[in-house]
Structures are given as C-alpha cells and as structure tokens.
Amino acid sequence: MYKKRKITNDLVNHPSHYKTGGIKTTNLIKSEELSYHISKVVNYVAPAGHKDDLLQDLQRARWYLDREIQRLSKAKDE
C-alpha cells in the first residue's frame, strides 16, 4: 500500500506565499524580464498579507518603487 505524502510548506525552496493565484512570482519576473527594483516590488506585492504584515509588505514594495522612480528620473535628466 502506498503512503500518502504529507504536503508541507517548504519555506526555503518553494514558499506557498510566493505562488498566490497559481503563478510563482519568480516565473512572472523572469518571463517579463523585469528590472531589479520592479522585480522586488512584485516580490512584495504579490504575496502581500499572506506571509507577514500587509502594511509592512506594501511599505517594502514602495521603498523599491521609489528607488526605481529615482533611477528613471535621473536617467531621463541626463
């Protein structure tokens, strides 16, 4: 007889909070070829509220978004 394997949340290799909506955020980032800062925004927004504090996740995303806006503004001015 086969034993049922217990499905666990592998927090190191495959954390479930990074696969909300059935899509792994790493796959989305790679397929869209997102910049570093925008990829970090996605990494915090996609699982926001599923892992840690929702407000903290959104604040982290905003921090990276602000950095990308600064980078693009600087590049535009040059």
| Domain that includes residue 56, residue range | 33-77
> What is the number of domains present in the chain?
1
Alpha carbon distance 58, 7 (integer Å): 29
**Residue 2 vs residue 27, higher pLDDT:** 27
pLDDT for residue 8 = 58
pLDDT for residue 14 = 61
- Within 8 A by CB and 6+ apart from 21, the residues are 46
Beta bridge partners of 14: 10
Instruction: Record the pTM.
Output: 0.67
Task: Assess if residue 13 is contained within a domain.
Answer: no
Task: Assess if residue 67 is contained within a domain.
Answer: yes
Task: Assess if residue 5 is contained within a domain.
Answer: no
3-state secondary structure the chain: CCCCCCCCCECCCECHHHCHHHCCHHHHHHHHCCCHHHHHHHHHHCCCCCCCCHHHHHHHHHHHHHHHHHHHHHHHHC
Question: pLDDT digits over 13-70, tens only?
Answer: 666 655 666 678 888 888 889 999 999 999 888 878 777 688 998 999 999 999 999 9
